[in-house]
Amino acid sequence: MQVLALSYAGGVTVDARDTSRVRPPARRVVVAAVTTDPLDVRAHADAVADSGAGAVVTFAGVVRDHDGGRGVTRIEYVGHPTAEQVLATVVADVVSRSEAEAVAVSHRVGELQIGDAALVVAVSGVHRAEAFATASLLVDEVKEHLPVWKRQVFTDGTDEWVACP
């Protein structure tokens, strides 16, 4: 019987006895994309499907209608020309340190409306803890390292750039 120590982004460690795994984690990156196309959470989940996975976790970061007490009408994301290469590097790094079977990550650029998905992450894993931990870490690392900047347009007609160097 193998004992695994599962580490979470928040520093919590849980010991789990894994008697179900019949092979090492595949750690496949099936999607790492920066695109102007609308993002589909279901398509990302389908992309990471794996017969050995007991969990598929998805995350969608969506455009909300407010920020800092002000109404937002839309946002625009602008990416550096290296954004997709940086995303691929970040995703590969996180996956190499995970127990994931497969991951799919996409970030949208261009003009987005309220409710549109800006970031989609899907992770399959043998167990839910592995999938949740990997998905959480992916979101954090992408937000920290991806050279994509956001312009928010407010209901009063003003705008503001966020996380722009």
The pLDDT tens digits for 10-28 are: 443 434 556 677 888 889 9
Pairwise pLDDT comparison (147 vs 18), residue with the higher score: 147
Q: Is the dihedral of CA 72, 106, 42, 58 positive or negative?
A: negative
Q: Which CATH number fits domain 25-162: 3.90.1170.40, 3.30.1160.10, 3.30.420.40, 3.40.718.10?
A: 3.90.1170.40
Strand partners, 77: 110, 150
Provide the whole-model pTM.
0.87
| 29: pLDDT strictly greater than 90 | yes
Average pLDDT, whole number, for the chain? 90
Percentage of the chain beyond pLDDT 70 is 88
- Residue entry with tokens 């503001």: 160
Is 151 exposed, middle or buried, given 0-12, 13-18 or 19+ CB atoms closer than 10 A?
Answer: middle
- Give the pLDDT of residue 16: 52
Are 56 and 49 spatial neighbours (Cβ–Cβ below 8 Å)? yes
Contact (Cβ atoms closer than 8 angstroms) between residue 36 and residue 18: no
Report CA dihedral (7, 13, 17, 20) to the nearest 10 degrees: -30
pLDDT per residue over 73-82, tens digit each?
999 999 999 9
Please choose, from the candidates 46, 51, 17, 47, the residue with its C-alpha nearest in 3D space to the C-alpha of residue 126: 51
Spatial separation of the C-alpha atoms in residues 142 and 145, rounded to whole Å:
5
Q: How does pLDDT run across 63-99, given as a tens digit for each residue?
A: 999 999 999 999 999 999 999 999 999 999 999 999 9
Q: Token pair of 131, please? A: 């999938």
Residues in the chain: 165
The token duo for 164 is 């722009």
In the predicted structure, residue 41 carries a pLDDT above the cut 90: yes
Mean pLDDT of the 110-132 span: 97
Are the CB atoms for 147 and 165 separated by under 8 Å?
no
Mean pLDDT value across residues 103-108: 98
Residue 165 is predicted with a pLDDT of 76
